[in-house]
Copies of this chain bind each other. A is one copy, B any other.
């Protein structure tokens, strides 16, 4: 049976195989993604963002177990930071979630960042598409931190949870740092710590300053994920958000648009196609040395390459 059919049937080994194809950028991945694309768009994507140490993975584990008890099938994609030396993943699939992993209703995958020119947004979106096509009701996407790539990944999500914990120092700085406008729901984890009220007040006051264009007031849910506290409340908050969101005009949709998908793919494909030409690659190699020695500047080099490639000259001629 074709791999795509096996994925649509929800076969675990087929899902794993597809993800490996995507991660290794195998040519078969594209064919597969084409075939499954019409069957995507059904899963609810739950983004979970928080700095290392906020207990993000623990919270996701508890949410997964709770949704499983309600009969939902679940996928988890954990986006890990990279190792610039080796280019490989460091965390790997999480050992401590092995007990969930053995449960056929859950599929967990870690994503490692890759080469310097490809962000994680596209491969993560593709892995989510596989889980979506495989019939998962919910897909969690975990990201560390608040960098550009994380913001990109956030756009995949139908709901974004942002985790904060008390006592991490300049809490307000963390709150201000871009998280305010990503978060549909704030989770104050490790809420059994002493200075939790101070953090809650900080978030409340930041929220009161920055009204959202869609009119949503992000709730603040307290949790102690390691003990399962707050998980039910969080699930209610998620449900509440989905109810609110259904009533919103399309203009407020922050998610990756189809146009974003096309532009990302086009950008990657243009570069691959350009440097795949031996003439272009040879020129880049030669120019790199001149640029390193400051004999030339990279801007002139690229202008020359663009001229050489005559991008789309034919279209203008024929029209």
Chain A positions within 8 Å of B, measured between CB atoms, are 30, 33-34, 37-38, 40-41, 51-55, 80-86, 90-91, 113, 116-117, 119-120, 143-152, 154-155, 165, 167-171, 173-174, 176-182, 190, 212-213, 254, 257-267, 269-271, 273-275, 277, 279-280, 284-285, 287-289, 291-292, 294-295, 297-303, 305-306, 308-316, 319
A93–B55 alpha-carbon span in the complex (Å): 31
A33–B302 alpha-carbon span in the complex (Å): 13
Is the pair A116, B314 in contact by a Cβ cutoff of 8 Å? no
Cβ contacts under 8 Å, A41 to chain B: 294
Is the pair B294, A168 in contact by a Cβ cutoff of 8 Å? no
Is the pair A148, B120 in contact by a Cβ cutoff of 8 Å? yes
Is the pair A294, B90 in contact by a Cβ cutoff of 8 Å? no
With contacts A147-B149, A277-B312, A279-B315 taken as known, whether A182 is within 8 angstroms of B265 at the C-beta atoms is: no
Is the pair A117, B267 in contact by a Cβ cutoff of 8 Å? yes
Cβ contacts under 8 Å, A299 to chain B: 30, 33-34, 37, 265
Question: 10 closest A-B pairs (Cβ-Cβ)?
Answer: A145-B145, A147-B147, A53-B169, A81-B178, A52-B174, A37-B297, A258-B291, A148-B149, A259-B288, A81-B146
With contacts A168-B168, A266-B302 taken as known, whether A53 is within 8 angstroms of B144 at the C-beta atoms is: no
Cβ contacts under 8 Å, A146 to chain B: 52, 81, 144-145, 147
Is the pair B284, A259 in contact by a Cβ cutoff of 8 Å? yes
Cβ contacts under 8 Å, A287 to chain B: 258, 262
A33–B294 alpha-carbon span in the complex (Å): 12
Q: How far is the CB of A31 from chain B (nearest CB, A)?
A: 8
Is the pair B263, A284 in contact by a Cβ cutoff of 8 Å? yes
With contacts A280-B315, A315-B309 taken as known, whether A262 is within 8 angstroms of B274 at the C-beta atoms is: no
Q: How far is the CB of A62 from chain B (nearest CB, A)?
A: 15
